[in-house]
Amino acid sequence: MKKRIAFGVVLCSIAMALSVQAMAFADVSSNAWYEKDVRFVAENGLMNGVEKDRFAPEDSVSRGMLVTVLFRMDGAAAGDAKASFADVKKGSYYEDAVAWAESKRIVTGYSEARFGPDDIVTREQLVTILYRYAASKGYDVSASRELLDFSDASEVSSYAKSCMEWAVGSNLIGGVTATRLVPQGSTTRAQLAAIIARFSRNGFLSAPDQNGASGEVPGESPGANDQENNQKPEGPTDSVYGKEPTIYVQNVTARAGEESVNVAVLIKNNPGVLGLSLRFFYDESRMTLVGLQNGDAVKRSLSMTAGKKLVSGCRVIWDGVEVTQSDIADGEILIMTFLFKAPAERGEYPIRILCDTAVDNDLSRVPVKPVDGSVAIER
């Protein structure tokens, strides 16, 4: 008989045991896409700030840091097991966590003597280790989605492919853009907070059996310390909204000097929208909207029109004759192309979205939650 494990109860017990209170970090703004996720992991004692009032959301996650978060999430106590790796220093903050993770076969070392606690965790390594943790707990890890939507799917290492498909199929991870996973990119602290929060909200509740994992647990790449440039964490693309229809602007990372940046607008839990009116707001002193393209999720059934002037506050309208069941899909409804005025300064540039109206086949209004996004310029 399948066992239902209330993951939220585990988190509550951790929070009580650690007596953790909500933390206010000076470097986590109230409108940051990851603010709620950072608050979640802080309140539940899963992640602390690097300083009293600083979370460092863009800093990379190390292997020692990741296993420590999982150790806390598991509610495990320090046992008699000792880490066998020579580079895991006695008394280090991750010592007990590494010993626990090694005993559970959640992580392995590069060799019998080397764990690499300070090595950066790539995105594909993160989902592999999280998969192992879920499997070790007996959670249902049968979800899977092919990576056909991502142009860089071939860059996913063979050892991580099934784990990445599980993470995408479980809505734990998406792309840093609509079509790029960046599996070799480093994981940021904000990304880790978001994925851990989703892991909880998704509720990995069903276990295949009462004895834990079934099937083989994928291995880990020996070249696990690839430190590709930090990517802007995916935003609400991966967020779990339940059944609430949501339209959101994707968070995108770009490099200073890039001529143009494409930003996707997506719909989640499409209720069968026949008519839609959206407005977009951004900083015209830094960004210029130069193009709009109807998205694949709606272009078969809805036509798109926009004003002649593509300025901040411009309205984009979709309408059609009828939407059939086969027409209803989640995904991209709009691709916006922006130019950044030189020199493009490093920073985050918000894109706000306002939904004026949305109607279904009966021309009845349907509630749609708008979620803002941003473009992050990195050097």
3-state SS class at 84: coil
Compute the distance between CA of residue 350 and CA of residue 343 in angstroms, rounded to an integer. Answer: 18
Residue 89 has pLDDT above 60, yes or no: yes
Contacts of 135 (CB under 8 A, 6+ apart): 141, 212, 213, 214, 215, 217
DSSP 120: B
Compute the distance between CA of residue 377 and CA of residue 46 in angstroms, rounded to an integer. Answer: 29
Map out the domains of the chain as residue ranges: 7-202, 242-378
Model pLDDT, residue 260: 81
Q: Determine the average pLDDT of the residues in 178-194.
A: 89
Compute the distance between CA of residue 374 and CA of residue 259 in angstroms, rounded to an integer. Answer: 17
Q: How many CB atoms lie within 10 A of CB 117?
A: 24
Q: Which two tokens stand for residue 96?
A: 């007990």
pLDDT-based confidence at 204, cuts 50/70/90? low
Residue 104 has pLDDT above 50, yes or no: yes
3-state SS class at 331: strand
Contacts of 223 (CB under 8 A, 6+ apart): none
The answer to whether 181 and 123 have CB atoms below 8 angstroms apart is: yes
Q: Determine the average pLDDT of the residues in 237-259.
A: 67
CATH number assigned to the domain with residue range 242-378, chosen from the 4 options 3.30.565.10, 3.90.180.10, 2.60.40.680, 2.40.160.20? 2.60.40.680
Radius of gyration of the chain (CA): 22
Residue 250 has pLDDT above 60, yes or no: yes
Residue 207 has pLDDT above 50, yes or no: no
Alpha-helical segments (H) within 158-245: 161-169, 189-202
Q: Which two tokens stand for residue 8?
A: 């939220």
pTM over 0.75? The answer is no
Model pLDDT, residue 11: 38
Model pLDDT, residue 341: 77
Residue 49 has pLDDT above 80, yes or no: yes
Model pLDDT, residue 344: 67
Q: Which two tokens stand for residue 254?
A: 């770009």
Q: Determine the average pLDDT of the residues in 53-65.
A: 92
Residue 166 has pLDDT above 80, yes or no: yes
Model pLDDT, residue 271: 87
Which region among 47-61, 266-280, 320-334, 335-349 has the lowest average model confidence (pLDDT)?
Answer: 335-349
The answer to whether 317 and 276 have CB atoms below 8 angstroms apart is: yes
Closest CA to 12 of 36, 46, 38: 46
User: How do residues 299-309 score in pLDDT, each as one tens digit?
Assistant: 888 898 887 78
Model pLDDT, residue 256: 66
Percent of the chain with pLDDT over 90: 22
More confident residue, 68 or 76: 68
